[in-house]
């Protein structure tokens, strides 16, 4: 049962995760670290979120990661990532990784068939162009169709055509739907894969993961006892806690940082 967290209040689950010996704090980016915006590449983390992540990263045995469906190149841009960053990136739903001190370390797996994604982009673009406020996002392993500014009727029609196209051309590709987005990928990884990779890489005793969308539930469902899942916004969820928006994520991270710092004094 997911319960709503009220800023400024104590919570046993938060206290427990703050005390875990080796902690990974993993956040989806869009809708969690950053508000959802009309132009996807304009997304940026809220300053108050960044401040709390920096505080947490400065604590011993505490590791920060963004886990996103974005391709690595786009994820690096919107997170304003640098070569000396302390933030791990997991892109393409867990098919791509960047680790501090190591760099890019893509997950093993089959690559997209040569020319397949480009063929899909070329076939999908005329469909997208026929609909107002619908846009195509090329991705490393497929594509996303965004409808954040489109009407529900336009979204339904555009998604139906894209679904039919992919079912005919690439029926084995993984389909994902989220907040005003439809995605297809030649890779099968989900954010559950990213949770396993982060746990193993950092030898984590606990993971704090926050997400706001359907694809984030893949990660939330595989969290273990001693982890903490957080849902941002409405919707059914496997998360323990719920907050309303990225501003409240910043407040929750502040509470986590305060408790973790106090436990290490």
**Which CATH number do you get for residue 83?**
3.40.50.1000
Quickly state the pLDDT bin for 39 (edges 50, 70, 90): confident
CA distance 259 to 245: 21
> Do 203 and 155 belong together in one domain?
no
Query: Which DSSP symbol is given to 42?
Result: G
Tokens of 150: 């489109």
Say what the pLDDT of residue 179 is. 84
Task: Answer left, alpha or beta for residue 208, where phi above 0 means left and psi between -120 and 50 means alpha.
Answer: beta
Average pLDDT over residues 142-148: 93
CA distance 69 to 145: 13
Say yes or no to pLDDT of 218 above 60.
yes
> Do 202 and 158 belong together in one domain?
no
CB contact set of 39 (below 8 Å; sequence gap of 6+): none
**What confidence tens digit (pLDDT) does each residue in 185-207 have?**
998 889 999 999 999 999 999 99
**Percent above pLDDT 90 for the chain:** 89
> Would you say 230 and 208 are in contact if contact means Cβ atoms under 8 Å apart?
yes
Quickly state the pLDDT bin for 38 (edges 50, 70, 90): confident
Q: Beta-strand (E) ranges in 114-220? A: 135-139, 142-146, 174-178, 181-185, 206-211
Say yes or no to pLDDT of 264 above 80.
no
> Do 92 and 156 belong together in one domain?
no
Say what the pLDDT of residue 265 is. 60
> Do 22 and 105 belong together in one domain?
yes
Check which CATH number belongs to the domain holding 142 and give it.
3.30.70
Average pLDDT over residues 162-177: 94
- What total number of domains does the chain contain? 2
Q: Where does a domain end: 138, 169, 185?
A: 185
Tokens of 165: 């196209």
Over the chain, what is the mean pLDDT?
Answer: 94
Of 258, 219, 260, 261, nearest to 7 by C-alpha is 258
> Do 215 and 235 belong together in one domain?
yes
Say yes or no to pLDDT of 109 above 70.
no
Q: Where does a domain end: 185, 200, 225?
A: 185
> Do 124 and 221 belong together in one domain?
no
Backbone angles phi, psi at 193, to 5 degrees: -60, -40
> Do 246 and 147 belong together in one domain?
no
Residue 121 exposed, middle or buried by CB count within 10 Å (0-12, 13-18, 19+): middle
Backbone angles phi, psi at 68, to 5 degrees: -140, 160
Quickly state the pLDDT bin for 87 (edges 50, 70, 90): very high
| Cα dihedral 29, 31, 37, 38 sign | positive
Tokens of 117: 């994604």
For 19-151, where are the alpha helices, taking DSSP H only?
Answer: 47-57, 72-78, 116-129
- Domain span at residue 245 reads 3-109+189-263
> Do 48 and 163 belong together in one domain?
no
What is the distance of C-alpha 62 from the center of its chain? 19
Q: 3-state DSSP call for residue 145?
A: strand
Say what the pLDDT of residue 131 is. 97
Tokens of 235: 């919707």
């Amino acid at each position: 049962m997911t319960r709503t967290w009220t800023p400024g209040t104590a919570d046993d689950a938060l206290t427990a995760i703050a005390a875990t010996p080796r902690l990974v704090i993993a956040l989806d980016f869009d809708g969690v670290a950053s508000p959802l915006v009309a132009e996807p590449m304009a997304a940026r983390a809220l300053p108050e979120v960044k401040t709390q992540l920096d505080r947490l990263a400065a604590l011993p045995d505490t590791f920060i990661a963004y886990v996103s469906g974005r391709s690595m190149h786009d994820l690096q841009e919107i997170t304003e990532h640098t070569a000396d960053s302390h933030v791990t990136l997991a892109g393409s739903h867990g098919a791509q990784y960047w680790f501090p001190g190591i760099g890019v370390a893509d997950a093993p797996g089959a690559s997209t068939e040569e020319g397949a994604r480009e063929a899909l982009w070329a076939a999908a673009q005329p469909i997208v162009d026929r609909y107002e406020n619908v846009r195509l996002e090329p991705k490393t392993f497929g594509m996303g169709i965004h409808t954040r500014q489109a009407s529900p009727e336009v979204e339904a029609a555009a998604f139906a055509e894209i679904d039919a196209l992919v079912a005919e051309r690439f029926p084995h590709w993984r389909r994902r739907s989220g907040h005003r987005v439809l995605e297809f990928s030649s890779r099968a990884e989900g954010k559950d894969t990213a949770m396993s990779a982060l746990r193993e890489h950092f030898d984590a005793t606990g993971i704090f993961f926050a997400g706001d969308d359907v694809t984030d539930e893949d990660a939330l469902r595989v969290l273990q006892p001693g982890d903490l899942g957080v849902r941002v916004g409405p919707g059914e969820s496997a998360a323990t806690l719920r907050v309303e928006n990225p501003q409240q994520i910043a407040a929750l991270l502040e509470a986590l940082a305060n408790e973790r710092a106090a436990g290490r004094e």
